[in-house]
Amino acid sequence: MKYPGQLKNNKFRKLWFADTLIGTADQIEILVISWLIITKTDSGLILGIYSAIRFVSTIFAPFIGGIIDNFNKKTTLKISRFYMLIHSLIFLYLSINDLLSTFNIIFITFFYGIARTSDRISRESLTQLLISKINLRNASALIRSIMDFAKIIGPLIGAIIYSYYGITQAYILIAILYLFSFLIIFSIDVPSVNYHKINIIKEIKTGIKYLNKNKVLVSIMFFAGLANLILFTLPGAYLPFIIKDIINGNASDLALFNSFTAIGALIGSLILSFGNLSNRPGKLVFSFLIIWHFSMFLTSIITNKLLLTLILVIYGAAGSITMISLAVLVLSITQKDMIGRIIGIRQLAIFTLPVGLVISGYLIDTFGIIFSIQSVTIIGLIITLTLGYKSKKFMNYKNIN
């Protein structure tokens, strides 16, 4: 059988398929837990806290990245995915015994977030080992495309199972998907590394020193932090309330409109998987950040379902092109022996997401959806323009093949 692009690489293909299962399980869980919380509490703040707790552990990312750099990436990936399996079994037990309280959900999800952070660093580090530099853009786009596909199919599957059978059955499926993703990793052959005593503080200092020498990497961190602080709050904080309070929808409607953002993201990732849109990735990122902000702003003033669908597709595509371009730049620029530490530090940008989600939840409860969306996107646009003006090396950077 002929496979497109880097899927010809058997090792990468296995990783790609395992990521498909992980992504689908993760999206099913987000849908069912988000709707459970919103129907139980009707609180934007609590929903924001739940969404935030999934990412707050990224504050440990530099430590995790320093450790991963000194171990076999396959081993660290197996550890993180094994814990994800355990996490799903814990939630399954709580669901069967009717113990899924808001406190239990948030407390246990914190530890899942640590495994999720480790998993992402391990997977991106492993991708760099399996794929040559010239093919990293195609490989990154392929991984992003399957994650975007999971964002389409996962919530729809979750909504159907949740609506017709309940949360317990949803977690049975989630556990099965985590199990198979864990087992697939065993068949990926990865060269071993020489183990040695690790000085975590020294590893982090080395990573920060390396980062500071490259102004393009520094700019990437700032743009990634902005995207997480402002733009990624739409699906996690605002969209559930748009569906529930404005459209008067249910869990299936939330899944459907979530899928539109994922369809747009899939379109963006497929575009990048087939070719390079620009030899100036910095300017490309800046342009699509502007489009991303405007599309999010428009969700606050459009009530027509068809137009909202179109805007969410544009929102998804702009976000995908932006974040893939940033990820490829990190993988292309960074030395192989530093990649875990740099990805770990870059993960700190995701720490702005829980901050943004909690703030967004508070704004929704206090001022309403419309004011919240408009105020944060205007602030985001101002920051984007400022960063674009200040980041001259990033804006003028040319692709390296």
∠ Cα 255 260 263 (to 5°): 120
Predicted pLDDT of residue 171: 94
* pLDDT tops 90 at residue 286: yes
Nearest to 276 by CA among 324, 311, 212, 318: 324
Cβ within 8 Å of residue 352, ≥6 positions away: 225, 226, 228, 229
Q: What is the mean pLDDT of the chain?
A: 84
Token duo for residue 110: 């914190």
Q: Tell me the domains of the chain and their CATH numbers.
A: 5-187+199-396 (1.20.1250.20)
Token duo for residue 104: 């239990």
Distances (CA, A) of 300 to 239, 245, 304, 359, 400: 10, 13, 11, 17, 39
Assign 363 a pLDDT band (cuts: 50, 70, 90).
very high
Nearest to 120 by CA among 52, 46, 64, 37: 64
* 93 or 259, greater pLDDT: 93
Q: What percent of the chain has pLDDT over 70?
A: 92
Assign 170 a pLDDT band (cuts: 50, 70, 90).
very high
Assign 201 a pLDDT band (cuts: 50, 70, 90).
low
Q: What percent of the chain has pLDDT over 90?
A: 28
**Range with the poorest average pLDDT among 182-191, 301-310, 381-390, 392-401:** 392-401
Residue range 327-345, pLDDT digits in tens: 888 877 887 767 767 777 7
Assign 177 a pLDDT band (cuts: 50, 70, 90).
very high
DSSP class of residue 363? H
Token duo for residue 98: 């009717």
Nearest to 14 by CA among 146, 135, 193: 146
Nearest to 244 by CA among 1, 2, 44: 44
**Range with the poorest average pLDDT among 75-84, 93-102, 197-206, 259-268:** 197-206
Residue range 214-260, pLDDT digits in tens: 888 888 889 999 998 999 999 878 888 878 777 777 777 777 888 89
Assign 400 a pLDDT band (cuts: 50, 70, 90).
low
Predicted pLDDT of residue 277: 65
Predicted pLDDT of residue 3: 66
Cβ within 8 Å of residue 72, ≥6 positions away: 190, 192, 193
**Range with the poorest average pLDDT among 147-156, 318-327, 375-384:** 147-156
Token duo for residue 292: 């991303």
The separation between CA 275 and the C-alpha centre of its own chain, rounded to angstroms, equals: 23
By the 10 Å C-beta count (0-12 exposed, 13-18 middle, 19+ buried), 66 is classed as: buried
* pLDDT tops 70 at residue 195: no
Token duo for residue 389: 């003006």
* Burial 16-44, CB ≥16 within 10 A → b, else e: bebbbbbbbbbbbbbbbbbbbbbeeeeeb
- Taking the whole predicted model, whether its pTM rises above 0.85 is answered as no
